[in-house]
């Protein structure tokens, strides 16, 4: 079956018998900010929201999330709801508010200084602060209350996202056992040895096992999760059937590789509007060289950004004939900036770019252009379209949807993907040039291999990946999760 926006919608209409669809995540899909020209709305740099927004646009429903924009309160109604997308409303965004102390403890603290480094094995020590954990618990309760308020006495399917909300499934089950719940884990699940140092591991696992269905990107994360539960809780783990039975109820645990709206991205990529944006971006970046490499990331220490700068250095050192001819554009959005490790990363990137540019720059050219600002989805697509190569060099990543977005947008016969072996996407995108970001010399060689590749070879590789992503798109991901839940009911 070829999954599309339309047949996903049909599945919901035919099979969900009027159940309300509620998505819950920390990050909201649309953020309202105030600026010199009044209130504007942006789409955040988040694979999670980029992936789920088309699903909600197709199916309708309610999305519950933290209202983090400084003008968010100004546009909601008395129930803290606003219809989105703003220019073509399709579903309800229900915002909940966090004060600074809650945000510091729950979001910056427990979510991003404890669970994030615990699950991404990149040699950054997690922090375990009791005060953060207590805020995390109370904010999870706040999310559960808001969801229950939206559900009321309706039949509902609640689809919870990510490591910020691990306690919500159990809270919902206790309050209303009729709600069907799934939780999708957007980041890696580590091996049991890594997870066992977490002082609150039992409560987190019990919280998650309140869901009817748990989804991870790949089988390896499913196996790690089942082994972690097996070694931590007194419950029945069925590794063959891939489920856990706790307190007389079963939770299915399955891999669902997340994806993108391939059709929409490829359509925008081929549009005249994108050509105009490409010309504007070239001008903004001051890029005149023939060959362009591109990286687009949240500035996060898991993304391997310093490693790719060092690879550019290695490449130019070994192949000086590319000096003046190749520019690497790094588009980066500042992220989680109140955490010291993120501030340090920023400084590290600045000094690397400064050093490498100083080493190779000529009067009218520099090897690395670092643009630290928000990019709209249209601009990101234009950037991929400009690229002779795109680099995704995560040190450890759940999926990495940037890689799939590049595949959908890139020009056949031109764009080559360099992809870290340590991403979930590397399991599917095997026609990319797979790299180890920890090995700078080989990484530099891969840049050269991409630039020297024949147009025919580039075309063959990209076409194969385009077909794969077109088939395994975001609607298939959502459809498979909904089908799995329907089989349970």
Residues that bind ligand F6P (CB under 6 A): 27, 46-49, 162, 186-187, 298, 335-336
**Residue 308 and residue 438: Cα distance in Å, rounded?**
9
Nearer to ligand F6P, 19 or 49 (CB): 49
H or E segment and range at residue 198: none
Q: Is 112 exposed, middle or buried (0-12, 13-18, 19+ CB in 10 A)?
A: buried
Nearer to ligand F6P, 94 or 298 (CB): 298
Residues 6+ apart with CB under 8 A from 69: 28, 31, 32, 33, 42
**Residue 247 and residue 177: Cα distance in Å, rounded?**
13
**Least distance from ligand F6P to the Cβ atom of residue 314, Å:** 29
**Residue 158 and residue 32: Cα distance in Å, rounded?**
25
**Least distance from ligand F6P to the Cβ atom of residue 186, Å:** 4
Q: Is 356 exposed, middle or buried (0-12, 13-18, 19+ CB in 10 A)?
A: buried
**Residue 5 and residue 58: Cα distance in Å, rounded?**
6
**Least distance from ligand F6P to the Cβ atom of residue 16, Å:** 25
**Least distance from ligand F6P to the Cβ atom of residue 335, Å:** 5
The length of the chain in residues reads: 489
Nearer to ligand F6P, 11 or 187 (CB): 187
Nearer to ligand F6P, 49 or 432 (CB): 49
Nearer to ligand F6P, 281 or 339 (CB): 339
Q: Is 1 exposed, middle or buried (0-12, 13-18, 19+ CB in 10 A)?
A: exposed
**Least distance from ligand F6P to the Cβ atom of residue 424, Å:** 11
CA separation, residue 404 to residues 196, 373, 376, 420, 432 (Å):
33, 22, 17, 13, 11
**Least distance from ligand F6P to the Cβ atom of residue 155, Å:** 27
**Least distance from ligand F6P to the Cβ atom of residue 63, Å:** 12
Question: Cα angle at 144 between 210 and 132, to 5 degrees?
Answer: 90
Nearer to ligand F6P, 105 or 293 (CB): 105
Residue 87's φ and ψ, nearest 5 degrees, are -90, -10
Q: Which residue has the tokens 């100004």?
A: 74
Q: From 458, 118, 46, 124, select the one nearest 304 (Cα to Cα).
A: 124
Nearer to ligand F6P, 308 or 336 (CB): 336
**Residue 115 and residue 451: Cα distance in Å, rounded?**
38
Nearer to ligand F6P, 447 or 481 (CB): 481
Nearer to ligand F6P, 46 or 394 (CB): 46
User: From edge to edge, which strands make up the β-sheet containing 433-435?
Assistant: 368-371, 326-333, 291-298, 389-392, 416-420, 433-435
Nearer to ligand F6P, 179 or 187 (CB): 187
Nearer to ligand F6P, 27 or 170 (CB): 27
**Least distance from ligand F6P to the Cβ atom of residue 281, Å:** 23
Inter-residue contact 432 to 461 (CB < 8 Å): yes
**Least distance from ligand F6P to the Cβ atom of residue 274, Å:** 25
**Residue 59 and residue 56: Cα distance in Å, rounded?**
5
Q: Is 387 exposed, middle or buried (0-12, 13-18, 19+ CB in 10 A)?
A: buried
| 8-state DSSP, 216 | E
Name the closest residue to ligand F6P (Cβ): 46
**Least distance from ligand F6P to the Cβ atom of residue 48, Å:** 4
**Least distance from ligand F6P to the Cβ atom of residue 349, Å:** 17
């Amino acid at each position: 079956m070829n999954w599309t926006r339309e047949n996903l919608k049909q599945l919901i209409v035919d099979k969900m018998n009027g159940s309300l669809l509620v998505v819950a995540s920390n990050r909201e899909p649309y953020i309202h900010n105030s600026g010199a020209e009044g209130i504007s709305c942006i789409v955040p740099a988040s694979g999670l929201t980029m992936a789920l927004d088309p699903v909600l646009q197709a199916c309708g429903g309610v999305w519950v999330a933290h209202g983090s924009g400084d003008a968010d309160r100004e546009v909601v109604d008395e129930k803290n709801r606003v219809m989105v997308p703003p220019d073509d409303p399709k579903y309800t965004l229900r915002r909940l508010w966090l004060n600074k102390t809650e945000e510091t403890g729950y979001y910056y603290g427990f979510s991003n200084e404890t669970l994030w480094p615990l699950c991404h094995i990149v040699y950054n020590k997690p922090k375990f602060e009791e005060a953060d954990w207590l805020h995390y618990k109370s904010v999870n309760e706040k999310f559960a209350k808001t969801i229950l308020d939206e559900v009321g006495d309706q039949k509902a399917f609640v689809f919870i996202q990510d490591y910020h909300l691990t306690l919500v499934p159990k809270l919902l089950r206790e309050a209303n056992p009729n709600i069907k719940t799934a939780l999708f884990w957007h980041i890696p699940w580590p091996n049991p040895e890594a997870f066992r140092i977490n002082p609150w591991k039992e409560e987190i696992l019990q919280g998650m096992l309140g869901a009817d269905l748990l989804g991870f990107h790949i089988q390896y994360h499913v196996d790690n999760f089942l082994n972690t539960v097996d070694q931590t809780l007194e419950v029945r783990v069925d590794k063959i059937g891939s489920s856990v039975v706790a307190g007389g109820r079963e939770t299915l645990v399955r891999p669902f590789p997340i994806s993108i709206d391939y059709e929409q991205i490829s359509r925008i990529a081929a549009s005249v509007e994108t050509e105009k944006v490409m010309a504007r971006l070239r001008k903004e970046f001051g890029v005149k060289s023939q060959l362009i490499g591109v990286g687009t990331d949240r500035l996060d220490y898991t993304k391997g950004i310093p490693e790719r700068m060092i690879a550019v250095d290695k490449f130019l050192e070994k192949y000086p004939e590319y000096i003046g001819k190749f520019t690497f554009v790094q588009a980066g959005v500042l992220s989680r900036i109140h955490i010291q490790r993120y501030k340090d990363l920023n400084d590290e990137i600045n000094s690397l770019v400064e050093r490498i540019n100083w080493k190779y720059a000529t009067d009218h050219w520099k090897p690395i252009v670092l643009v630290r600002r928000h990019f709209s989805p249209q601009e990101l697509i234009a950037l991929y379209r400009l690229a002779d190569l795109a680099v995704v060099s995560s040190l450890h990543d759940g999926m990495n949807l940037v890689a799939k977005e590049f595949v959908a947008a890139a020009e056949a016969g031109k764009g080559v993907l360099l992809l870290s072996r340590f991403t979930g996407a590397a399991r599917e995108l095997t026609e990319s040039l797979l790299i180890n970001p920890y090995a700078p010399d080989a990484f530099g060689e891969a840049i050269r291999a991409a630039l020297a590749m024949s147009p025919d070879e580039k075309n063959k590789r990209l076409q194969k990946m385009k077909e794969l992503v077109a088939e395994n798109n975001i609607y298939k991901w959502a459809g498979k999760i909904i089908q799995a839940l329907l089989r349970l009911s």
